[in-house]
Amino acid sequence: MTRGLLWVVAVLVALFLLAPIIAILPLSFSSGSFLFYPLPGLSLRWYADFFTSDFWLPALWNSLGIGVAAAGLATLLGTPAAFGLWRMKGAFRAIAMGVVLAPMVVPVIVVAVALLLAFGPIGLVATYTGLVIAHAALGVPFVVVTVLAALEGFDPVQLRAASACGAGPLRAFFRVCLPQIAPGVAAGAIFAFATSLDEVVIALFIAGPAQRTLPRQMFAGLNDSISLTTAAAAAVLVGLSVVLLLVVMWLQRRGQAAR
């Protein structure tokens, strides 16, 4: 009895979670220009609008470019750091972990305003560099946590074996360790990319008109009047998110298979 009731509630909650997204997606295929049902007919006009627009298309390219650059920087910095933290003990490790994880818990508005103040005098406000740096800082904790989790399944004895066979530490890392934790590193990079792709607040405060990202453009669109092009943009972002989710699931399966 109780279990039946729990099932009903659980399914209702699942519907609550999916409903808004399911509701907005078909609207983007409407041939009319209203944001409600029933649809007058189906068309791709809003997608055509999105992909020919002088505002939306550059925003999409900005988002992808900044996301890739930020994820790359976060992965380059985060992977060796995770490896170091994995071999580390004691108070220094606790402090280092605190610093590395801080971007996950500090409210992003505080980061945005602080960076606006700090980047102003050094000319990084309204530049791609500034935005990439900020997004990389936000994405780094995800890289470190994911790589650390991947390293849990890696036996450090192999490193000693590699060293005994005459490999230097660098060679041992690249030839023995990295191939085994590669799915974790890739998943971390995707988490960092997704973080950048989602990010609105920092983009609002420190990006200029040239660096406007897709979420920032959506924020602006939502603030005055919602058009169906915004719905199409939302659908594009949902599509990207689904692709990223599938890639991460595939990587996790590979990571488990590697063990």
Please give the residues from 167 up to 186 whose contact with another protein meets the rule CB under 8 A: 169
* Single residue of 48, 110, 161, 165 touching another protein by CB under 8 A: 110
**Residue 87 or residue 259: which is nearer to another protein going by CB?**
87
Check binding of 34 to another protein (CB under 8 A): yes
Closest C-alpha to 63, from 137, 55, 144, 225: 55
Q: Rule CB under 8 A: which of 177-236 touch another protein?
A: 194, 197-198, 200-201, 205, 215, 218-219, 222-223, 226, 230-231, 234
**Residue 44 or residue 88: which is nearer to another protein going by CB?**
88
- Check: CB of residue 149 under 8 Å from CB of residue 224: no
Q: Rule CB under 8 A: which of 89-108 touch another protein?
A: 89, 92-94, 96-97, 99-100, 102-103, 105-108
Q: Classify the phi-psi angles of 199: left when phi > 0, otherwise alpha if psi is within -120 to 50, otherwise beta.
A: beta
Check binding of 39 to another protein (CB under 8 A): no
Q: Which stretch binds another protein (CB under 8 A): 64-72, 78-86, 176-184, 251-259?
A: 78-86
The Cβ-side half-sphere exposure at 152, using a 13 Å CA radius, reads: 6
**Residue 58 or residue 241: which is nearer to another protein going by CB?**
241
- Check: CB of residue 128 under 8 Å from CB of residue 163: no
**Residue 26 or residue 179: which is nearer to another protein going by CB?**
26
Check binding of 35 to another protein (CB under 8 A): yes
Q: Rule CB under 8 A: which of 114-153 touch another protein?
A: 114-119, 133-134, 136-137, 140, 144-145, 148-149, 151-152
Q: Rule CB under 8 A: which of 149-168 touch another protein?
A: 149, 151-152
Q: How many helices (H) and strands (E) does the chain have?
A: 12, 0
Q: Which stretch binds another protein (CB under 8 A): 29-37, 39-47, 53-61, 64-72?
A: 29-37
**Residue 111 or residue 207: which is nearer to another protein going by CB?**
111
**Minimum CB distance to another protein, residue 49 (Å):** 16
**Residue 16 or residue 166: which is nearer to another protein going by CB?**
16
Sign of the alpha-carbon torsion through 149, 138, 198, 9:
positive
CB-based burial of residue 101 (10 Å sphere; 0-12 exposed, 13-18 middle, 19+ buried)? middle
Phi then psi for residue 30, to 5 deg, are: -70, 150
Tracing tokens 């973080």 back to the chain, one arrives at 195
* Single residue of 59, 70, 71, 85 touching another protein by CB under 8 A: 85
Q: Rule CB under 8 A: which of 45-74 touch another protein?
A: none
Closest C-alpha to 213, from 227, 198, 235, 224: 198
Output b/e per residue, 189-210; b: 16+ Cβ within 10 A: bbbbbbbbbbbebbbbbbbeee
Q: Within a 10 A sphere around the Cβ of 127, how many other Cβ atoms?
A: 17
